[in-house]
Amino acid sequence: MMPLPKVEMNVFETILARRSVRNYKVDKVDSGTIRNLLEAAIRAPTAMHQEPCGFIIIQDKQLLKDLSDRAKPLILAEMHLNASKNISHSLGIFDQPDFNIFYNAETLIIICGKTEAPLFEADCWLAAENLMLAACAMGLGSCVIGCSLSAFKSVEIKKQLHIPVEFTAVAPIVIGYPDEVAIPTSRKSPAIITSIKAN
């Protein structure tokens, strides 16, 4: 097991501090930091101890820009197909040539799951949360780029990124050094549907 990175926050403070960051500095995340993030990810719970997660790490800014350009038409088509009042206001941004769906971050980590494993998607999302909390505790920002999934599941892009056929992309996450102070957002109170207690 690798040595733990120095962090300034406890677990609950980190949970409360985590934000989706959409503006990054040009500084690249070093390989040692990425190893620590992956170590945090693989410590997440896993159904039947299957450990189905695999990781694609991209730190090539031109490749990320190319992937963004190829993903935007797929995103637009998907959004038009499933158009609703909740997302229609955001469609225009994907038509803008300069808009990068990865927010110009230097690092993208795609958590992939081995599809034969039971509950592989749940395992990948648990790993994703561990990774993002670890990033926050280490002073990094992160953001899930869920809209890119259609692109990463395409045969052409899977081949380009050397994603084995038995794996599928589940959680694409950009990581980097924040170039903004993320504004806290409110959350609804917990919706307790039922609370059953013994008499």
What's the CATH number where 141 sits? 3.40.109.10
* Domain presence at residue 193: no
Give the mean pLDDT of the chain. 91
Read off the pLDDT of each residue in 150-158 and give the average, rounded to a whole number: 96
Backbone φ and ψ for 83, nearest 5 degrees, come out as: -55, 135
More confident residue, 193 or 3: 193
Residue 87 has pLDDT above 60, yes or no: no
One-letter amino acid of 81 = L
Distance CA 34, CA 66 (A): 23
pLDDT digits over 19-34, tens only? Answer: 999 999 999 999 999 9
* Domains contained in the chain, number: 1
User: What's the rounded Cα separation, in Å, for the pair 171 and 174?
Assistant: 10
State how far the Cα of 176 lies from the Cα of 33, in Å rounded to an integer: 11
Parent domain of 78:
22-176
Residue ranges of alpha helices (H) inside the chain are 11-17, 31-42, 61-81, 120-137, 149-152, 155-160
pTM (predicted TM-score): 0.91
Residue 63 falls inside a structural domain = yes
Q: Model confidence over 90-132: pLDDT tens digits?
A: 667 888 889 999 999 999 999 999 999 999 999 999 999 999 9
DSSP conformation class of 5 = P
Does residue 53 sit within a domain?
yes
Mean pLDDT value of segment 66-77: 93
User: Is 104 a member of any domain?
Assistant: yes
Quick: pLDDT tens for 38-47: 999 999 999 9
Distance separating alpha carbons of residues 193 and 197, to the nearest angstrom: 13
Specify if 54 maps to a domain. yes
Q: Is 8 part of a structural domain of the chain? A: no
C-alpha to C-alpha distance for 58 and 56, rounded to whole angstroms: 7
What span, in angstroms and rounded, lies between the C-alpha atoms of 171 and 129? 10
pLDDT grade for 183, boundaries at 50, 70 and 90 = confident
1 has pLDDT over 60: no
Residue 115 lies inside a defined structural domain of this protein: yes
| Structural domain contains residue 190 | no
